[in-house]
Amino acid sequence: MPSPAFVATLVVDPARPTLSDALVARAAQALPGFVERRWLDPEIAADLFFDGFDGADARASLAPLAAEAHYDVIVQPMATRAKRLLVADMDSTLIGQECIDELAAAAGFGAHVAGITERAMRGEIPFEAALRERVALLADLPIAIIDELLATRITLNPGARALVATMRAAGGYAAIVSGGFTPFTGAIARRLGADEHRANRLEIAGDRLTGRVLEPILGADAKLVALRELTARLGLARWETMAVGDGANDLPMLVEAGLGLAYRAKPKVAAAAHARVDHSDLTTLLYAQGIARSEFVEA
């Protein structure tokens, strides 16, 4: 018997394991050509294998139940689900904070800068101009605040450690590509064991920030270039790549990747990405590849 052409992966928040047999059965009924199911993690994640639907139609068929039951769904061809490259945004993706907002709060401009950040991430204003405007408000801030924030404010999002560790243990490559700043991406890369990190560079004079960001600015185009460069360097096909992010500056790389996932993303990004992670955590990127919970590697 030939292998099914497609797989729909259903995932709920691991903190609320509500993916019941009945719920999976209802989802299966919405997929013409349904073949079989497989639990990746009982009550948390399951694969539904099927034929006869393209990805977009299958997602549309499953969307009403997904909204009702609060699960995420990733639909893709079976033959191309395994990935060897992960390119991940950092702020509000791998970590729960926006680092520039944390720096601005320390400088006394928190609410003002957070508003600019939100507009930039929604794609309402150009990222590069918004970054320069926000960094200018950080002038004369002592650089020691960065280590303080890393120690007291910056936290990894659930599933980040398992995501990076499991992919690397399987021979994959993990890169952090951020519109944030290298002192933060370097620290997070070390925490996670990522292979490399790319981000913007803050100008420093003595022990203080100058309020300027060094050129060139790493924005949407640079993220896309990074994905393409890494794909070529590693000798991978496009389908072997995966990207995850939440903001408008992530969108080009999400569209380019073999699988681009919008994580708790802004509406424009969530609408255009291949799949969205609204309810579950970053381990969804492992389940999407058919990796069972028993195969996860913890950092």
What residues are annotated to the active site? 89, 91
Any idea of the CA torsion for 128, 133, 137, 142, to the nearest 10 degrees? Answer: 20
Any idea of the CA torsion for 59, 62, 67, 71, to the nearest 10 degrees? Answer: -90
In angstroms, the first-to-last Cα distance of the chain is 39
Nearest Cα to 181, choosing from 200, 206, 165?
200
Euclidean distance between CA atoms 3 and 6, whole angstroms: 9
Provide the token pair at 223.
């993220």
Name the amino acid, one letter, at 221: D
Strands (E), the chain: 6-11, 34-41, 45-50, 72-77, 85-88, 173-181, 196-200, 202-205, 208-213, 241-245, 259-263, 275-277
Is 197 in contact with 219 (CB distance < 8 Å)? no
Nearest Cα to 202, choosing from 94, 104, 92?
104
Is the backbone of residue 115 left (phi > 0), alpha (psi -120 to 50) or beta?
A: alpha
Element of type H or E holding 164? helix 160-169
In Å, the largest CA–CA distance within the chain is: 69
